[in-house]
Structure formats: C-alpha cells, structure tokens
Amino acid sequence: MISLQTYLQERSAGIQKALDAYLPKADTYPPLIHEAMRYSVLGDGKRIRPVLTLAVNEMLGGGDGQAMIPACAIEFIHSYSLVHDDLPFMDNDDIRRGKPSCHKKYGEAVALLAGDALLTYAFQLLGTLEFSERSARLIREIAMAAGTTGMIGGQLLDIQSGKNRSNLEVLDDINRRKTGQLIKVSCLAGALVGGASPEQESRILRFGEYLGFAFQVVDDIIDGNGYLFFMNEQEARKKAEMLVDKAKDELSVFKTTGEKLRLIADSILERKC
C-alpha cells in the first residue's frame, strides 16, 4: 500500500491537471478575467476538498470519471471564497499561498469579478454531469453548502460576531457553516457519485461533518485565535482529536476500503499551515 504522502501527492497532481484543463485558457477573451481565475486556482494548495471527494468515491469502488467534475467544482468554489476573503473590506490579506493575493496582483475590481466568475463556473462545470436524480441532488447540495445556510451564512455570522464571540456554541455554529459545510459536501459528492447506499451516505456525511469541524479547530490552533479564546492549546488539540476519532468511527463499516480516509483524517491533526 502506498504511503499517505505519496497518495496525496498523486491525487493533488491529478486534480491540478484537471483544474487546468477545466478552466478557460488564459487568452480566452476577455483574457484578464481568465488569467485572474487561473492565477487564483492553480497556485499551491492542499486540495483537501477535491481529495476527499475522490477518496470517498474510491472507497465505494468508483473510478475518477464523473467524480473529478464535482471535485474540481468544489475547489473552484473554495478558491472563489479565498479571493473574496482576501479583499480589503473582508480580511485584507495581501498574501495567499505564498504569493500576492488576487486583488494585490489584479486590483480589487478584477478580484471581485474573478471570485464571482469562479463561483459561476463551478456550476457551469457541474452542469456537464450526466443527468440523474443523484447529479441533480449533488448540484443542489453543493449550492446549499456554499450558500446562506452554509459557507456564506457562516461568513456573515463571523463578521457580525467579530472577535467578541458570545459563547462557544456561537463559534461552533460559525465553523460548522463557514468551514464545515464545504468539507462535508465534498465527502457527500464522492458518496453520490460512488453510488452509496442510504446507510453508507449517512456515515459519510457524519464523517465529513466531524472532519470539517476538526479542520477548523486545528486552523485556530495554527493561527492562535478562534477556539484559543475559550481554551488553551492542549484543550483545543484534545477537542480536535476527539472529533477526528468520531470521524474515523463512522468509517468502521467500510473496513479496509476506508483506510485512506482514516489516514487523511489523522493527517488533519498534523497540519502546520
């Protein structure tokens, strides 16, 4: 069995190739917007969301085929959210993935449009899926995960609360929406494309929910904020470990086929950036 590092490298390389192929070429008219889209997507990135989609589909015995479409669409949505998060009226970050953020390279107006274009293009790509009840549901679930009940809603709650979190339940709710929903739907996408049974789907959904939650807790440990306003680093790490253990427990029914996902879950705890 290949190591997790090798698996992730191979998966990331395949995803990068697919992202490059799906995106419009940089010289497509009008070229500036397409150049900015490619700049924002094709840099270095962990690709954890598309990797999860492909790994869940693989666990169920599916080939990449149709799974690569939602995997890349979700990465486009994630990339759009980063472009918008970096803007001066949001988080005002000048660097993204080791290079100037989109608005620092192309200006705020182009960055705003590039984010809009990536979100729109994600659904254009999803529209190429072979039509079925499952693909229709997949598109609907991704839209909800990215929308006002998911990522966008979580972002708004985060803005409204500022640094003054009223209590831990508020922070948990923000993170389940802002970070967790897109990770959860990445797992669901793999389940739907892979033909999961209702019981398998329920397990995979819970796996994704716990994993997305753990991902944000580790993010806060790395950044020194969020949960560290309520607990010390050791307590936050224990919280993340508990969530990862719960995530892995949901995969018990998949036995050996779920091993890669269990290793991916463990790797969340080892993140340094």
**pTM of the entire structure?**
0.95
Question: Would you state the pLDDT for residue 164?
Answer: 58
Nearest-angstrom CA–CA distance, 36 and 112? 10
Structural domain that includes position 231: 4-268
pLDDT of 46 reads 85
Between these two residues, 34 and 64, which has the higher pLDDT value? 34
**Per-residue model confidence (pLDDT) at position 163:** 59
**Strand, helix or coil for residue 225:** coil
The fraction of the chain above a pLDDT of 90, given in percent, is 83
Residue 166 reports pLDDT greater than 70: no
Report residue 191 CA to chain centroid gap.
15
Residue 17 in any domain: the answer is: yes
Residues 56-80 have a mean pLDDT of 96
Q: Give residue-wise pLDDT tens across range 209-254.
A: 999 999 999 999 998 988 998 999 999 999 999 999 999 999 999 9
Question: Residue 150 falls within a domain, yes or no?
Answer: yes
- Would you give the distance in Å from CA 46 to the centre of its chain? 10
Name the average pLDDT for the chain: 94
Task: Kindly state the average pLDDT of the residues 109-118.
Answer: 98
* 176 in any annotated domain: yes
| 234 located within any domain | yes
Instruction: Tell me the pLDDT tens digit for each residue of 152-162.
Output: 999 999 888 87
Predicted pLDDT at 97: 84
Report if residue 249 sits inside a domain. Answer: yes
What is the total count of domains within the chain?
Answer: 1
Residue 82 sits in a domain whose CATH number is 1.10.600.10
Q: Examine residue 273 and state whether it is found in any structural domain, yes or no.
A: no
Average pLDDT over residues 164-172: 78
Q: Could you give the CA distance from residue 15 to residue 9 in angstroms, rounded to a whole number?
A: 10
230: in domain: yes
Q: Phi and psi dihedrals of 25, rounded to 5?
A: -65, 150
